[in-house]
């Protein structure tokens, strides 16, 4: 089960990144060109948040099954010298949770905001912050924090 969850979590990150990038792009265009906020824009906001929440749920499930996280929480002496354990046991989940919280708040505020330009600005701001946090917390192959392959 751990292997399947890892593959799903790794694959779904690309959908999260793509949907976030798309939402940021259309929000920037909408804001700069003073477009009206359409049903398509609202759907992008909604589905980006939904995909991110699905990824979070997969991540939480993966967190409960991960041998790396299990070692992190059981053996305090071992993880003091091993940053990989600290990254996956604490830093990655914490940053991702913060990113999803920012994204969720941004989505909720944009949904309730009056004015098309304000909606675009809200999504642009909150989703950009979420994307930055997610980009920092992903274990890219080139990351100095912890690295994993692009595809599992």
| Domain extent listing, the chain | 2-137
Residue 78 has pLDDT above 70, yes or no: no
pLDDT tens by residue, 4-40: 988 999 999 999 999 999 999 999 999 999 999 999 9
pLDDT tens by residue, 37-77: 999 999 999 999 999 999 999 999 999 888 877 777 787 66
Instruction: Give residue 3's pLDDT.
Output: 87
Residue 79 has pLDDT above 80, yes or no: no
Say if CB 146 and CB 92 are below 8 A apart.
Answer: yes
Instruction: Give residue 140's pLDDT.
Output: 83
Neighbours of 71 (CB within 10 A): 15
DSSP one-letter code for 141: T
d(CA 35, CA 124): 14
d(CA 135, CA 33): 27
Instruction: Give residue 99's pLDDT.
Output: 98
Give the predicted TM-score (pTM) of the model: 0.90
Closest CA relative to residue 15, chosen from 134, 107, 108, 136: 134
Question: Residues with Cβ < 8 Å from 112, sequence gap 6 or more?
Answer: none
Say if CB 133 and CB 97 are below 8 A apart.
Answer: no
Instruction: Out of 3.30.450, 3.30.60, 1.20.120, 3.40.50, select the CATH number for domain 2-137.
Output: 1.20.120
pLDDT (mean) for 78-103: 86
Closest CA relative to residue 109, chosen from 96, 126, 130, 129: 126
Q: Which pairs from 31-34 meet CB under 8 Å and 24+ separation?
A: 31/117, 31/120, 31/121, 31/124, 34/116, 34/117
d(CA 89, CA 147): 14
């Amino acid at each position: 089960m751990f292997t399947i969850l890892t593959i799903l979590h790794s694959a779904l990150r690309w959908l999260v990144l793509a949907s976030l990038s798309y939402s940021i792009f259309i929000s920037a265009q909408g804001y700069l060109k003073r477009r009206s906020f359409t049903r398509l824009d609202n759907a992008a906001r909604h589905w980006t948040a939904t995909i991110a929440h699905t990824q979070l749920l997969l991540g939480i499930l993966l967190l409960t099954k991960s041998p790396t996280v299990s070692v992190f929480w059981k053996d305090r002496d071992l993880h003091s010298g091993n940053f990989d354990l600290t990254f996956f046991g604490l830093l990655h989940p914490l940053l991702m949770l913060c990113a999803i919280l920012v994204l969720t708040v941004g989505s909720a505020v944009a949904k309730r905001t009056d004015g098309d330009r304000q909606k675009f600005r809200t999504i642009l701001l909150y989703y950009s912050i979420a994307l930055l946090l997610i980009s920092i917390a992903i274990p890219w192959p080139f990351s100095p924090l912890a690295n994993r392959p692009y595809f599992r």
